[in-house]
Structure 1
């Protein structure tokens, strides 16, 4: 438990319904607190929406709508799936200094910690590699719930270890892990003006190439496929990040590098040809040639692991299918490397930085490399 209270919420009574307890997770601009539900006498967790500190009023209103709307969506999903952190369908309001109303989402009591925290602790202790079997056993529930969400037309967009909650003190196969992280982080299209050129994208290490392209229409289930593949690889590497560097521009350079993709063998993980091919399809730069959903990706990965004859094909969507929300399957085929990567943001020197990224992503030798290969335990 963090025990700190930089925002001044501890002890506050919210709408005569909740009493705020300790801060348990400082989630960017959406911190999580312990709380007591006075109506039921049971512990709950509260997620406060603070918003970016320097956001303009209109940007803040957009993000607020995103927070409330996403909380409502996750509430509907959580009622029918136990692998999602339960969220109340009601949004409550706390009060900060200056009488500023702060939206509050009510979650089930969160015991344990995020997958990000567990992976960091594992890596700090030596970061021994975790086999594919144990990795899939560990993340089976999150994979299944994201797959189910895709079948209902819901895309998470911000999958990352910080948005997976481990209900236990040890990271081991069978420990309950639930999906969370519905609100607070800005939509992929929102970039604030900053003093230094910077892509304002939460969890940039797990973002798919299209999320750096300032085009919400390009984001879909294939975006979650990319993020989930990166999460699986990070677990297999014993907690060592796949993308080296938290800065969004560093992540963009590596994520969009068409000639160096984060596959198991590229990262120093021994695996079969079949498993390597599945990951390669999941993390390709061109979203049209990724799996169309996490269900397809997971099924292909299980088939590859078990040595079964792969029934999967690479998926692509035509312009007409994308416009109508449908998908079209295509046979596996070689694809030409995508064109120069683009990153959209606002800030001084934007044009010069974009030119540099485009130039660097066209030359293998000058691009900052992915994290070094895993050092196998002796």
Structure 2
């Protein structure tokens, strides 16, 4: 049985390789040939994927993607479809493929988080997007490597209403990024003890994947709060990087709030550490920079609120340092994040027109904070990222 499964994995890897090499006819033929033989992948999904590739009609896959029927009985999955990423404020769509195995990790539960949203805001306007952490086996296109996405958002796929499907979090790629370039950047940007505190949860061999998973799940709960991410996409709210950046920062900050409500302060603070490693070690260095990229803007807003909360300072060596070097202290460092995000979300629920979001989602950043972010975060790590570009 093991030999059969190993052979099946090699066949799926071959299909991904055909997609990467633009040998689409071969990929279609292999999908159809194997649709009746595979035991670990849903046969109906494979057959429909072949039809979608042949006819360039991705609506065929929409319902099964939203309902997560693409996942096999033991967690194995294969998705092949055009996937869009945004670089320098420009969309870039490429036929992509990802083959992997979903992890069994569901804490805190979606039900617990949805009840918490109702408690905080009195209503839940959309279900919380499900975040599925997985181990990659093979991939190509916009969902692979340093230039692709490690966190694969559902609305990037070319399926109709794909925004209602699950997000996919590539644990192996996240780990590689965190312990590579991100690790170096955090050590350059932050003084030694602060960097050690932030990197601690990611160096935990037993729990690091769980911390990353929970961080992304509470972040998705943040997106579902208020009017909801789906509502904002429908009404074209994210017309430029700054609106999207505010939404990302708001979701981060509400994620901190939900972590504080569902976990001990020690554990919730570790999720803040993971988030900061993402925002300051990875996202701050995206090619779009301060004037184009959603995630860069989110990191800038996070730094603004840390200084406003007097939770961070600049050392004599020109590095950033936290005032309270503990995980409960790290949770206290984002108290202003949490309070402002709660206020912003309650205000958006009181709007009478979606156009009101455009004025609401303008958050001023002091010029000095922008200069600090540019000089002490972005420019300090340019040499590290230049090696990868």
Structure 1 and Structure 2 fold alike (TM over 0.5): no
Decide which structure has greater helix share.
Answer: 2
TM-score by length of 1: 0.32
